[in-house]
Chains A and B, each alone.
Chain A
Amino acid sequence: MDLTYTEAEEQFRRELRAWLGANIPDEWTRPGFWESLGDDESFRVRRDWERDKALAGFAGIEWPAEFGGRGGTPGMKAIYDEETVRAHAPRTVNPLGLAFLAPTVMAIGTDAQKKEIVGPLLRNEVIWCQGFSEPGAGSDLAALSTKGVRDGDDFVVNGQKVWTTNAVHGDKIFTLVRTEPGSQRHRGISMLLIDMHQDGVDARPLKQMSGASEFGEVFFDDARVAATDVLGEIGDGWRTAMLLLSFERGASGIGQYTEFRRQYDEIVDVARRLGRHTDPVIRGRLARVLTELECLRLHAMHVLTQVEQGRDLGFEASMTKLQWSETFQDLWEVYDDILGEDATLDSLGELDLRPLHAQAMWSRSVTIWGGSSQVQRTITAERVLGLPR
Chain B
Amino acid sequence: MFFALTDDQREFGTAVTTYLAERFDLEAVRGVVEDAAASGADGAVGDGNPEALWKAAAEQGWLAVTVPEEHDGLGLGLVEAQVIARSLGAGVAPGPWRGTVLAADAVRLAGSPEQQAAWLPRLASGEAVGAVSLSGAPVEYAAIADVLVVRDGDGLALAERGGFTTEAVGSYDGTTRLARVTVETSEAFPGEAIADLTARATVLVASDLAGVAREAITRTVAYDREREQFGVPVGSFQAIKHALADLHVGVTMAEHAVLYAAHAVDTGADGADLAVAVAKAKASDAALAATAAMIQYHGGIGYTWEHEAHLFYKRAKRLAGQYGDADAQRERIATLTIG
| A residues adjacent to B (C-beta < 8 A) | 1-5, 75, 78, 264, 268, 271-272, 277, 280, 283-284, 286-288, 290-292, 294-295, 298-299, 301-302, 304-306, 308-309, 319, 322-323, 374, 376-378, 380-382, 384-389
Contact = CB atoms under 8 A, between A and B. Distances in A.
Closest 4 CB pairs of A and B: A381-B241, A287-B330, A295-B253, A283-B334
Given A290-B333, A295-B278, A298-B260, A2 B2 contact: yes
B67 to A, nearest CB: 20
A308 B278 CA distance: 26
A298 B257 contact: yes
A286 B221 contact: no
B282 A291 contact: yes
A295 B3 CA distance: 13
A165 B197 CA distance: 52
B263 interface: yes
Interface in B217-266: 217, 221, 224-225, 232-233, 235-236, 238, 240-242, 244-246, 248-249, 252-254, 256-257, 259-260, 263
**Taking each of A1, A288, A319, which has the highest tally of chain B beta carbons within 10 Å of its own beta carbon?**
A1
Contacts of B235: 381, 387-388
**Taking each of A264, A287, A382, A384, which has the highest tally of chain B beta carbons within 10 Å of its own beta carbon?**
A287
Nearest to A295: B253
Contacts of A385: 217, 221, 241, 244-245, 248
A150 to B, nearest CB: 40
Contacts of A299: 252-253, 256
B1 interface: yes
19 contacts: A75-B1, A78-B1, A283-B334, A286-B337, A287-B332, A288-B281, A291-B330, A294-B274, A298-B3, A298-B256, A301-B1, A302-B3, A304-B3, A322-B246, A377-B241, A380-B245, A385-B244, A387-B225, A387-B235
A236 to B, nearest CB: 30
Contact of A284 (B2, B217, B233, B327): B327
Contacts of B333: 287, 290-291
A378 B241 contact: yes
B229 to A, nearest CB: 13
Contact of B331 (A280, A301, A374, A380): A280
A250 to B, nearest CB: 13
**Taking each of A4, A284, A292, A387, which has the highest tally of chain B beta carbons within 10 Å of its own beta carbon?**
A387
B256 A308 contact: no
B338 A268 contact: yes
A57 B49 CA distance: 63
A283 B331 contact: yes
B4 interface: yes
Q: How would you classify the secondary structure of chain A's contact residues: helix, strand, loop or mixed?
A: helix
A389 B232 CA distance: 10
Contacts of A381: 235, 241-242, 244-245, 248
Nearest to B237: A387
Contacts of A78: 1
Given A287-B330, A387-B221, A387-B225, 9 more contacts: A78-B1, A272-B338, A291-B282, A299-B252, A319-B249, A378-B245, A385-B221, A387-B236, A388-B236
A349 B292 CA distance: 47
Interface in B318-339: 327, 329-334, 337-339
Contacts of B2: 1-3, 305, 308
Contacts of A284: 327, 330-331, 334
Nearest to A300: B3
Contacts of B257: 291, 294-295, 298
A388 B4 CA distance: 30
A266 to B, nearest CB: 13
B278 A382 contact: no
Interface string B2-36: 11100000000000000000000000000000000
B214 to A, nearest CB: 12
A277 B275 CA distance: 21
Contacts of A75: 1
A305 B274 contact: no
Given A3-B3, A287-B333, A387-B225, A323 B249 contact: yes
Given A3-B263, A301-B1, A388 B244 contact: no
Nearest to B1: A304
B295 interface: no
A2 B333 CA distance: 25
A384 B331 contact: no
Contacts of A5: 1
B143 to A, nearest CB: 36
A284 B232 CA distance: 41
B147 interface: no
B253 A323 contact: yes
B256 A295 contact: yes
A17 B330 CA distance: 34
A288 B337 contact: no
Contact of B263 (A1, A277, A288, A380): A1
Given A283-B330, A299-B253, A4 B236 contact: no
Contacts of B260: 298, 301
A212 B135 CA distance: 55
B101 interface: no
Nearest to A280: B331
B6 to A, nearest CB: 8
B282 A295 contact: yes
A29 B334 CA distance: 27
A381 B338 CA distance: 36
A305 B1 contact: yes
B330 A292 contact: no
A331 to B, nearest CB: 13
Given A1-B79, A3-B3, A75-B1, A287 B256 contact: no
Contacts of B221: 385-387
